[in-house]
């Protein structure tokens, strides 16, 4: 029952068993404003009118009074004339409105718009560590890594015990190949949030990249223990296991990861690699196909698929993938492509690919590759007259 010591009005129709209602009567006792979770996991605000018989009207939802990251304030009426407030300038409310918009834009992968909105929010509250951290995430996603570094560091400066900024900065260093700076930051993030599976997983992944495989597996196992169905944790554990030669368990982990993230190109590619190591090449093919659906222009994935098909003797099928991979100007891939052309009888194409690879290898002063490509080039050149 809702009641107020200043009024005898009581309306059981408005309350819920959640016991979460805060309420306030208007000065004339005819209006009641209250907050409730009856229709939402987040607090919503409602307004109802009480007539002369003490009967309440259907409650009307007060729009724009709910947000996922904060509660509605205790509602109050202001006993002033209608024209008593000319303007309300709620900067804090505007900051959180922009905070919510920017967060939603990030969730929709609309990072450029998110960057602009985070900047607007920080204009209102420049010392908010979480906003700086979130802006860093959006900037990193748009390729502006130098700016992302700056905002992560600002977040750490403003809130030294905020783990996300350490974690995100550590990941950014890892992506740049700077594991010397990455690992201590990820260790700090784990120290600040020892309950967080992702903190264990991120550190495990960085340690694997640093070649510290057994340490990596230990942290990744802890991540999976804390969050058994987390795709990233399972995938990172799979990487460590595969690098330690524990291929059967690695395959199981990659399959578990795919159950939660079936559209991850990286997980499909890692699973394919582990299957190849086990000699299960036929099973690897569909995983590379799935990975290429997500990232059709990936030189690495096209190269892997082409090499796999060539190793299986499917030379004609391998050519389109290897041609795409060779488009990046890798002389080694050009050498492989020339060999596959030759296997299908396309000697002129083989000669052209070998010539291009030899030219690039010469420019790079790669003597071993130059020698191999020159040998192939001469062999294809010698074969041409026989085909004329």
**pLDDT (0 to 100) of residue 2:** 39
**pLDDT (0 to 100) of residue 74:** 61
d(CA 13, CA 56): 8
Those residues with Cβ within 8 angstroms of residue 131's Cβ, 6 or more apart along the chain or in another chain: 99, 102, 118, 121, 122, 125
Q: What is the pLDDT of residues 301-332, one digit of tens each?
A: 999 999 999 999 999 999 999 999 999 899 99
**pLDDT (0 to 100) of residue 279:** 95
- pLDDT band per the 50, 70, 90 thresholds, residue 63: confident
User: Is the separation of the CB atoms in 77 and 26 below 8 Å?
Assistant: yes
| Lowest-confidence segment of 69-73, 114-118, 243-247, 365-369 by average pLDDT | 69-73
- pLDDT band per the 50, 70, 90 thresholds, residue 170: very high
Helix (H, G, I), strand (E, B) or coil at 315: helix
**pLDDT (0 to 100) of residue 88:** 56
> Helix 315-326 vs helix 331-343: angle between axes, to the nearest 10 degrees?
160
User: Residue 169 above 50 pLDDT?
Assistant: yes
User: Is the separation of the CB atoms in 270 and 251 below 8 Å?
Assistant: no
Q: Which pTM does this prediction carry?
A: 0.70
**pLDDT (0 to 100) of residue 3:** 37
Looking at residues 182-188, what average pLDDT do you find?
A: 96
C-alpha distances in Å from residue 191, one per residue of 135, 151, 203, 204: 24, 21, 11, 14
| Lowest-confidence segment of 158-172, 242-256, 347-361 by average pLDDT | 347-361
**pLDDT (0 to 100) of residue 159:** 94
Work out the burial of residue 74: count CB atoms within 10 Å of its CB; fewer than 13 is exposed, 13-18 middle, 19 or more buried.
exposed
Pick 382 or 306 by higher pLDDT: 306
Work out the burial of residue 215: count CB atoms within 10 Å of its CB; fewer than 13 is exposed, 13-18 middle, 19 or more buried.
middle
- pLDDT band per the 50, 70, 90 thresholds, residue 150: very high
Pick 378 or 245 by higher pLDDT: 245
d(CA 119, CA 251): 43
3-state secondary structure string across 261-314:
CCCCHHHHHHHHHHHHHCCCHHHHHHHHHHHHHHCCCCHHHHHHHHHHHHHCCC
Q: Phi first, then psi: give them for residue 2, nearest 5 degrees.
A: -90, 130
d(CA 11, CA 74): 19
Percent of the chain with pLDDT over 90: 64
User: Residue 377 above 60 pLDDT?
Assistant: yes
Q: What is the pLDDT of residues 224-248, one digit of tens each?
A: 999 999 999 999 999 999 999 999 9
User: Residue 267 above 60 pLDDT?
Assistant: yes
- pLDDT band per the 50, 70, 90 thresholds, residue 10: very low
Pick 63 or 175 by higher pLDDT: 175
Mean pLDDT of all residues belonging to the chain: 87
């Amino acid at each position: 029952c809702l009641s107020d010591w200043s009024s005898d009005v009581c309306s059981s129709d408005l309350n819920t068993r959640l016991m979460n209602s805060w309420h306030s009567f208007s000065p004339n006792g005819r209006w009641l404003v209250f907050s409730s979770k009856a229709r939402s996991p987040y607090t919503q605000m409602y307004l109802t009118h009480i007539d002369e018989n003490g009967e309440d009207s259907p409650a009307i939802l007060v729009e724009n009074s709910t947000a996922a990251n904060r509660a509605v304030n205790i509602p109050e009426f202001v006993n002033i004339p209608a024209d008593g407030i000319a303007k309300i300038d709620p900067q804090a409310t505007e900051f959180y409105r922009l905070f919510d918009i920017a967060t939603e834009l990030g969730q929709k992968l609309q990072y450029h718009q998110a960057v602009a909105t985070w900047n607007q929010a920080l204009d209102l509250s420049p010392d908010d560590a979480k906003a700086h951290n979130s802006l860093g995430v959006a900037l990193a996603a748009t390729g502006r890594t130098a700016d992302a570094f700056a905002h992560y560091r600002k977040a750490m400066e403003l809130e030294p015990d905020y783990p996300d900024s350490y974690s995100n900065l550590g990941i950014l260093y890892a992506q740049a190949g700077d594991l010397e700076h990455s690992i201590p930051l990820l260790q700090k993030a784990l120290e600040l949030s020892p309950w967080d599976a992702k903190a264990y997983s991120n550190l495990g992944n960085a340690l694997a990249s640093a070649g510290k495989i057994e340490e990596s597996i230990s942290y990744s196992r802890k991540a999976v223990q804390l969050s058994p169905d987390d795709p990233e944790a399972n995938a990172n554990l799979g990487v460590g296991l595969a690098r330690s030669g524990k291929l059967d368990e690695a395959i199981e982990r990659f399959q578990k990861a795919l159950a939660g993230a079936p559209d991850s190109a990286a997980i499909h590619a890692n699973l394919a690699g582990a299957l190849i190591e086990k000699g299960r090449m036929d099973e690897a093919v569909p995983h590379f196909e799935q990975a290429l659906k997500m990232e059709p222009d990936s030189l690495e994935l096209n190269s892997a698929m082409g090499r796999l098909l060539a190793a299986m003797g499917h030379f004609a099928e391998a050519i389109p993938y290897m041609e795409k991979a060779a488009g990046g100007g890798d002389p080694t891939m050009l050498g492989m492509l020339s060999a596959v052309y030759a296997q299908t009888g396309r000697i002129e194409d083989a000669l052209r690919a070998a010539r291009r690879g030899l030219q690039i290898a010469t420019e790079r002063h790669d003597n071993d590759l130059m020698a191999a490509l020159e040998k192939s080039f001469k062999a294809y050149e010698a074969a041409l007259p026989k085909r004329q």
